[in-house]
Amino acid sequence: MMFLLVCGLLLLVLGALLLYLWRAEAKIGVPWVPDSKSILFSQEPLPPPIPENSITSYALPLRTQGRNIIDQKGRRFKLHSVNWYGGSDELFVVGGLDVRHRNDIAATIRRMGFNSVRLPYADELVVANPVIPESLVAANPDLAGRRALDVFEAVTAALTDAGLAVIINNHITHATWCCGADPCDAAWYNGHLGPLCRIRQTEADWIRHWEEVMVRFVDNPFVIGADLRNEVRGFWGTMPWSKWAAAAEKAGNRLLRIRSDWLIIVGGTESNNDLSGVAERPVVLDVPHRVVYTAHVYAWSGWGSSEGRFSHREYASFVRTMRRNWAYLVEGDVAPVWVGEFGASNRPSVGGANYWQNLLRYLKAIDADFGYWAINPRKPKDDEKETYSLVEDNWSTPILDYRMKDMTEIMRA
Ligand SMILES: *[C@@H]1O[C@H](CO)[C@@H](O)[C@H](O)[C@H]1NC(C)=O
C-alpha cells in the first residue's frame, strides 16, 4: 500500500516536471517578432565600412598582448570576422563560386564591414585534392579544371586582395558538414579507430596536412593565422584539455617554423565550449605572443547543465557560463579569445533571439573578437537553404536584419 502511494507520488512529480519542461520549451519556441530598431535598420542602406578597420591599415605582423591582438605600433586589431564555408564539406570548395566571381564575394564581405574571414578546410581536401567540377566554379571560369587546394588558395588570395585578413581553419577530417556523432571526426587524430574510418590519420598526418596548406600562404601577410582544429571533443566529454593543448603546441611550433609570425589559434574542448583548462595549463609555443584562443557559442550550447541551454538563460546565468568557459581570459587580460563561431536564424524563435541578445550584449560589454557563422546562403549538401545566411542567393545583396544590425553597431563602435 505504502509502495503504491510512493509510486503514485513519484509519477505525479514526474508528470508535473514534464509539463513544466514542455511549457518552458513551448514558450521559447514561438517566433520572435523583430523590434522596431531592427525593422528600421533593414530599411536603411548599410553604412560604408570603416577603412581603419581593414588589415591594410595595420603595421604587420600582429602579435598578442594580454587580451588583445595588436600590431607593431601597439594598435589593436580586433577580429570582426565571418565564416565562409564549403572547403571542409562534400564539394571541397567554398559556396558561391558558381554564382559570383570570388573577387565580388570578397568585396561584398568587405562592404558589409567585416575585416577578416575564417576559411575552413577538411583533411580530406588535402589528401584527395580532387579537380573541382566546372559547374561549381561557373562564375570563376579561370578556376575551371583546377584542384581543390588551388581553388582554396585562389579564394584566399581574393579575400586578402580585397583587404581582408584570413584565418585558415582545419575543420574536420572527412569532407562533410561538421559536427556529427562520427567518432572518426571528433578529434585531430583517428588512427586508433583503425579501419572504422574512411580517412585515417595520425597526429603526424594532421600536422603534415597543415604544413601542406600553410606553405602556400608564406608570402601573404594578410593570412594572419591558423585555427588548428574545429570543435575538438571526446565521447561524452572525455577529451582532456592537456592532451589537446600538447597536440596544439606540436602543430603550432611546426607551423611557426614555416613562418614565425602567424597567430596560432586554439579552441576549447567540448566542441570549442570549454577553455577553463587554460588557467592551469596554457598553450605555450616556441615563439612568444602567438596564441589566440577561440570559443564557439550557440543557442543550444549549455545543454545538460542545470541552468539549461543558452536559449533559455537569463543574462546573468549566461554570463556566468561565458566567464567560466572562456571569458575569464579576456576579462583578466590573460589572452585573446576569438568567438570564432556563433550565429542565428534570420527568423529566430524567442529562445534564439534571447540567446543572440545575451551574447551580443556580452560581446559588446567585453569588446571581444568575433566570427559569425556564416555568410553562405546554401549548404553544400542538397543545396539546402541556410537560415543563418547573411546574403541572398545571388551572393551580392546583404540580408539586413537584427543580426547585421547588432554586428554593424559593434563593428562601427
Ligand atoms: C540579389 O537578390 C536580391 C533578393 O532577391 C535582389 O533584391 C537583388 O536585386 C539581387 N541583386 C543582384 C545584384 O542581382
Ligand 1 proximity of 104 Cβ (cutoff 6 Å):
no
Place of cell 554564382: 99
For helices 402-411 and 36-43, the axis angle rounded to 10 degrees is 80
Mutating to test ligand 1, I would choose from 390, 394, 395 the residue with most ligand atoms within 8 A of its C-beta, which is 394
Long-range contacts of range 149-154, CB-CB < 8 Å, 24 or more positions apart? 149/125, 149/212, 149/213, 149/216, 151/92, 151/93, 151/94, 151/97, 152/87, 152/93, 152/94, 152/119, 152/121, 152/125, 152/213, 153/216, 153/217, 154/102
Compute the distance between CA of residue 21 and CA of residue 157 in angstroms, rounded to an integer: 50
Ligand 1 proximity of 394 Cβ (cutoff 6 Å):
yes
Identify the residue whose C-alpha is closest to ligand 1 atom 7.
Answer: 397
Q: How much distance in Å is there from the Cα of 397 to the middle of ligand 1? A: 6
**Residue 308: all three cell numbers together:** 539549461
- From the alpha carbon of 397, which atom of ligand 1 is closest? 1
Identify the residue whose C-alpha is closest to ligand 1 atom 8.
Answer: 397
Domains of the chain: 35-411 (3.20.20.80)
Q: How much distance in Å is there from the Cα of 90 to the middle of ligand 1? A: 27
Q: How much distance in Å is there from the Cα of 391 to the middle of ligand 1? A: 10
With a cut of 80, say whether residue 17 has pLDDT above it.
no
Q: How much distance in Å is there from the Cα of 170 to the middle of ligand 1? A: 33
Q: How much distance in Å is there from the Cα of 382 to the middle of ligand 1? A: 22
Q: How much distance in Å is there from the Cα of 308 to the middle of ligand 1? A: 40
**Residue 236: all three cell numbers together:** 561524452
What pLDDT score was predicted for residue 221? 98
What pLDDT score was predicted for residue 1? 67
What pLDDT score was predicted for residue 22? 80
- From the alpha carbon of 394, which atom of ligand 1 is closest? 1
Ligand 1 proximity of 396 Cβ (cutoff 6 Å):
yes
pTM over 0.85: yes
Q: How much distance in Å is there from the Cα of 395 to the middle of ligand 1? A: 9
Compute the distance between CA of residue 267 and CA of residue 248 in angstroms, rounded to an integer: 9
- Give tens-digit pLDDT for 19-60: 777 877 788 889 999 999 999 999 999 999 999 999 999 999
- Give tens-digit pLDDT for 285-333: 999 999 999 999 999 988 778 899 999 999 999 999 999 999 999 999 9
Cα 81 to chain centroid, rounded: 9
Ligand 1 proximity of 305 Cβ (cutoff 6 Å):
no
With a cut of 80, say whether residue 158 has pLDDT above it.
yes
Identify the residue whose C-alpha is closest to ligand 1 atom 9.
Answer: 397
Tell me the pairing of strands 369-372 and 63-65: unpaired
Mean pLDDT taken over the chain: 95
What pLDDT score was predicted for residue 3? 72
Ligand 1 proximity of 399 Cβ (cutoff 6 Å):
no
With a cut of 90, say whether residue 235 has pLDDT above it.
no
Contact (Cβ atoms closer than 8 angstroms) between residue 395 and residue 377:
yes
Q: How much distance in Å is there from the Cα of 393 to the middle of ligand 1? A: 8
Q: How far apart are the first and last CA of the chain?
A: 69
